[in-house]
Structure 1
Amino acid sequence: MPTSTGSPKQLVLVRAVVLVRVIVVSSWHERDPPSRRSRSVCARTRGRPDGAYSRTQRVLLFASSRALPCVQLTPSARLGSRLLRRHPGRRAGDQTRRALATDRQPERASAAGQPGPALLVDSARYHAGARDAEATSIADAARLSRQGPGFVWVAVSQPAGGELDELSGCFDLPALAVKDALEGHQRPKLEQYGDCVFIVVKTVRYEEATGQLDIGELDVFVGARYAIVVSRSAGDVSGSIRRRIDGYPAVTALGPMAAVWAVLDTVVDDAERVTDLLLDRAQRIEQAVFQGDRDQSESIYLHHRRVDQLGRAVHPVLAVFDTLHRGEPVMSPDGVRALLSDASDHARRLSEEVELLSGRLDGLLSANLSRVTVRQNEIMQKVSAWAAIAAAPTIITGIYGMNFHHIPELTWPFGYAFALVVMVAAVWALHWNFRRVGWL
């Protein structure tokens, strides 16, 4: 191995580079025999086939090779996969593993050359209120929508950007609506893009055990021959929607607007169940406020925040119902319009309940603060009463404890007993008076 001499700064640089290379190679943690593990850094890394370390390792190795040419390291194509496959539990460096996982995803995507298939939850063609053909892929569903009567129902869960592009290309969906569906976190709304109607609604799910309120999103694309639901919710929302579509064949026979009713009715019913659970929780907090002694400000605030989240998901849906009730942007069949009107009434009642619950929690927070103030006043009254009781014998003891020679009671034979009687009488009188006024 060639050596080089130089200034102390160069020697420090060489040692730092060697240390970096040792850290990179030791993170591999390969199970080799002791004879192989005892080899030098150069021997362990020289001769590996060209490929790819993680991006972090490649940068460090390249920089060290440029600074220290005595050790030539070639990247290994199998280093990342062997590290994750053979030693998943080894602490080879969290940062290195994250870099490996990040690098391998773009490589797989570029090798595929096209977006992967979306997570198709359910897809079928409905004709005369019944499912007459099943679809196994997005392309198959698009083919069914162009063949035969009826409409195609498609439910997709948690799609990525490429998967939405595939869906958009097969059904010719509007680009702006697809962009909103990709970005997510949209306010509930209804928009029209030519022959396609785009509806966004929020789903709610409440875990009573943990007190966690999950807000999901449903993006609905409705055309003349299709109804597509893109779900970003943790619950089985698509299954509930399908049960409604299959359970009302007379309504399903009216076209894709039946799927719109099924979506909105499912969202409203789920929100009603969550509202009932939040109402029960509010009642338990009320009992804790008025029957317990602990401060419930934190519980009230957290519950109020959940109710506000529910209100932000429920209130804007009323505008969607109003637009559909006016026959905009598409006129719903009479059978679907009656069901939409019923769901709209439920949504309005639900919105009012959420507002009342929010106001109820505001009042409960004020009542809790008042209770805390009252308890503090009661504590101060008790402390003040006992301080006054203790002050009476203290005063008497202090008077007769002064070092004066001419205090008449000091030479009186009954002076000690008299002082004790006075102190006991003063304590009893004060205690009786404080109990009478309610301080003790």
Structure 2
Amino acid sequence: MIVDKAIYRGGRRHELDGDISDAFDEARRQDRDCFVWIGLHEPTAEEFGLIQEELLLHPLAVEDAVNAHQRPKLELYDNTVFMVLKTLDYHDATSEIDVGEIMMFLGGDFVVSVRHGAANPLGPVRGRLEAEPALLANGPAAVVHAICDEVVDHYGVVAHEVEVDIIELERAVFTPHTADVTEAIYSLKREVLEFRAAEDPLIPVLQQIVRGRVAIFDGTREYFRDVLDHLLRVDGQVDAHNELLNSALTAHLALLGKQQNEDMRKISSWAAIIAVPTAIAGIYGMNFDFMPELRWLLGYPIVLTVMVAVMALIYVRLRRGGWL
């Protein structure tokens, strides 16, 4: 559905009086500083049909915009630029990252933004842009910059939230007698990999713009350079998060192995202690006739004393050796 639509002249917003077709016709009749921005949220093919016919958008790009599930990319179709961004939203309660998408069709006198998912609504972006007429006067490229800037800034927020969860996991790993957090580490590692799949392919896209390979962005290359710097910083954070999780998992598995070895040593130590009375009792259970101590008054007390003494000696030696 259409969330918002407006026509901009000289960096100022003007409401649309007619339908979308009238707005595009008016933008084409005006000077170069006039363009239309239409924002849609999860449109159907039928809802997008009018815009496709009006702007003669490429069917492959339209199919991508309607169906979503695309990697970040930038494609050129004649005089139209098609760009895909991944949006992220982090849930503290579940440590899960929700991934959405923003597709943008960009021309000399129009911007069509198509958003999928609940993350990164574009209303605040539009409001901030309209408060900066000088930036908005750069035309459709300024809109794309503002959206990229918002998305990448939110990447930084998500990266910080992930870092907080990693710190909590590290504390749990090195806390004695804590529960097994292997599943939690793997779960967060999966979210970090999903994070990387969203932000990493965007780097070459912004590099194309910064290097001047897409003419429509020539007037805003400096702005995109700043966005690229922020994205590279986030990319470094994501790499660091992945390494931290690998280290945490390695340390956790090593500690689990150490704990298991300690448990086995204790079990083996008690088995050695119990083996003494078991062996002696087994000998006496054979019912031999010629055992002198059977008729001694102190025979059994002496045997029991020997059993306890040997068990105590073994216990002391094992305790000193750190097995108990």
Q: Fold match, TM over 0.5? A: yes
2:226 is equivalent to residue 346 of structure 1: no
2:5 is equivalent to residue 123 of structure 1: yes
Find the structure with the greater CA-based Rg.
1
> 1:236 and 1:312, CA in 2 relative to 1: closer, same or farther beyond 3 A?
closer
Whole-angstrom distance in 2 between the partners of 1:426 and 1:159: 82
Whole-angstrom distance in 2 between the partners of 1:218 and 1:136: 26
Name whichever structure is richer in strand by fraction: 2
2:321 is equivalent to residue 321 of structure 1: no
Question: Equivalent residue for 1:228?
Answer: 112
> 1:307 and 1:120, CA in 2 relative to 1: closer, same or farther beyond 3 A?
same
Question: Equivalent residue for 2:193?
Answer: 308
User: What secondary structure, in the 3-state scheme, does the structure 2 residue paired with 1:424 have?
Assistant: helix
1:280-295 → structure 2 map (5 Å cutoff)? 280-291=164-175, 292-295=177-180
Whole-angstrom distance in 1 between the partners of 2:99 and 2:120: 13
Correspondence for 2:20 among 112, 115, 138: 138
Shift of 1:166: 1.2
Shift of 1:219: 0.8
Shift of 1:145: 2.4
For 2:11, give the aligned amino acid: G
Shift of 1:308: 0.8
Whole-angstrom distance in 2 between the partners of 1:246 and 1:382: 71
Whole-angstrom distance in 2 between the partners of 1:267 and 1:415: 87
Question: Equivalent residue for 2:217?
Answer: 332
Whole-angstrom distance in 2 between the partners of 1:169 and 1:419: 102
Question: Equivalent residue for 1:148?
Answer: 30
Question: Equivalent residue for 1:369?
Answer: 253
Question: Equivalent residue for 1:358?
Answer: 242
Deviation per residue, 1:220-266 (Å, 9 max, x gap): 11111111101112134212321331243221111111001011111
Structure 2, unpaired ranges of 5+ = none
1:159-308 → structure 2 map (5 Å cutoff)? 159-291=43-175, 292-308=177-193
Whole-angstrom distance in 2 between the partners of 1:155 and 1:136: 16
Shift of 1:399: 2.5
Q: Is the 8 A contact 1:123 1:136 kept in 2?
A: no
Shift of 1:136: 7.2
Q: Is the 8 A contact 1:202 1:215 kept in 2?
A: yes
Deviation per residue, 1:294-313 (Å, 9 max, x gap): 32221111111111111011
User: What secondary structure, in the 3-state scheme, does the structure 2 residue paired with 1:197 have?
Assistant: strand
Deviation per residue, 1:319-360 (Å, 9 max, x gap): 1111101112215355x3222111100101111211221122
Structure 1, unpaired ranges of 5+ = 1-118
Whole-angstrom distance in 2 between the partners of 1:262 and 1:338: 13
Figure out how many residues of one structure are paired with residues of the other and give that number.
321
Q: Is the 8 A contact 2:120 2:151 kept in 1?
A: no
Whole-angstrom distance in 1 between the partners of 2:244 and 2:322: 32
Q: Is the 8 A contact 1:141 1:154 kept in 2?
A: no
For 2:236, give the aligned amino acid: E
> Percent of counterpart pairs with the same letter?
38
> 1:140 and 1:412, CA in 2 relative to 1: closer, same or farther beyond 3 A?
farther
Correspondence for 1:424 among 277, 302, 308: 308
User: What secondary structure, in the 3-state scheme, does the structure 2 residue paired with 1:332 have?
Assistant: helix
Deviation per residue, 1:88-109 (Å, 9 max, x gap): xxxxxxxxxxxxxxxxxxxxxx
Shift of 1:197: 1.1
TM norm structure 1: 0.69
> 1:437 and 1:243, CA in 2 relative to 1: closer, same or farther beyond 3 A?
farther
Question: Equivalent residue for 1:158?
Answer: 42
Shift of 1:286: 1.6
Deviation per residue, 1:112-167 (Å, 9 max, x gap): xxxxxxx1111112223221334675335424423434222111110011112111
> 1:176 and 1:400, CA in 2 relative to 1: closer, same or farther beyond 3 A?
closer
Question: Equivalent residue for 1:74?
Answer: none
Q: Is the 8 A contact 1:202 1:313 kept in 2?
A: yes
User: What secondary structure, in the 3-state scheme, does the structure 2 residue paired with 1:190 have?
Assistant: strand
What RMSD, in angstroms, separates the aligned Cα atoms of the two structures? 1.9
> 1:135 and 1:398, CA in 2 relative to 1: closer, same or farther beyond 3 A?
farther
User: What secondary structure, in the 3-state scheme, does the structure 1 residue paired with 2:259 have?
Assistant: helix
> 1:386 and 1:289, CA in 2 relative to 1: closer, same or farther beyond 3 A?
same
1:91-102 → structure 2 map (5 Å cutoff)? none
Which structure would you say has the larger RCO, counting Cα contacts within 8 Å and 6 or more residues apart? 2
